[in-house]
C-alpha cells in the first residue's frame, strides 16, 4: 500500500482520497526507525474506519506510517511514506493530471493564459480527491 504525504498541505493520500491531518504539537514517542533512531509522532489522520499515525525519525528524517483500525484500535499495517514537499509538488501533479490539465494549472498559478476547459477538468479531478485548487495554486 502506497501512502503519499503531502507535506505543504499537511495531508495524506489514502485509498485515492486526501485526508487532512492534525499536527502533533508535543514531542511524543512514535517507535523506532530501521536506522536505530527514535521516531516521534508528526501528524495524525482519521478517516471513517482508519487512523494513520505519521512519525519522523530524529536521526535519518525518514517518515513512517502506522495504519490503525478505528473500530478496534489494532495496528493493521506499517507503511513507508512517499513524501511530497513544496519542491517536488509539480512532479506530483504531473503524475495525476494529463499534460494539458497540468499546463493549465501551472499557467493559472503564474497568472498566464490557460485553457479553461483543461483547467476545469483538472479542478474537478483534484476536487474528487479532496484537494482544493486554490490551495494548490498557492503552493505552486
pLDDT one-digit tens code per residue, 73-106: 888 888 888 999 999 999 999 999 999 999 999 9
Alpha-carbon span 14 to 21, nearest angstrom: 12
Residue 94 and residue 77 share a domain: no
- Which of these, 74, 78, 77, 122, lies nearest to 100 by C-alpha position? 122
Map grid coordinates 503524475 to a residue. Answer: 95
Are the C-beta atoms of residues 108 and 114 closer than 8 Å to each other? yes
Say what the pLDDT of residue 1 is.
66
Q: Identify the H or E element spanning 116.
A: helix 116-128
Residue 78 and residue 15 share a domain: yes
Alpha-carbon span 133 to 122, nearest angstrom: 9
pTM above 0.85, yes or no: no
Residue 71 and residue 10 share a domain: yes
The percent of residues above 90 in pLDDT, for the chain, comes to 74
Which three three-digit cell numbers place residue 40? 516521534
Say what the pLDDT of residue 16 is.
82
Residue 23 and residue 53 share a domain: yes
Q: Which domain holds residue 68?
A: 3-84
Amino acid at each position: 500500500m502506497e501512502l503519499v504525504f503531502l507535506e505543504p498541505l499537511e495531508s495524506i493520500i489514502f485509498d485515492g482520497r486526501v485526508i487532512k491531518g492534525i499536527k502533533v504539537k508535543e514531542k511524543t514517542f512514535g517507535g523506532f526507525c530501521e536506522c536505530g533512531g527514535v521516531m516521534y509522532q508528526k501528524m495524525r489522520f482519521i478517516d471513517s474506519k482508519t487512523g494513520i499515525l505519521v512519525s519522523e525519525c530524529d536521526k535519518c528524517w525518514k517518515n513512517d506510517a502506522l495504519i490503525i483500525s478505528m473500530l478496534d484500535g489494532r495496528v493493521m499495517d506499517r507503511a513507508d511514506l512517499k513524501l511530497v514537499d513544496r519542491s517536488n509538488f509539480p512532479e506530483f501533479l504531473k503524475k495525476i493530471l494529463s499534460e494539458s490539465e497540468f499546463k493549465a494549472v501551472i499557467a493559472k498559478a503564474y497568472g498566464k493564459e490557460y485553457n479553461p476547459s483543461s483547467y476545469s477538468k483538472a479542478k474537478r479531478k483534484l476536487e474528487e480527491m479532496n484537494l482544493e485548487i486554490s490551495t494548490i495554486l498557492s503552493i505552486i
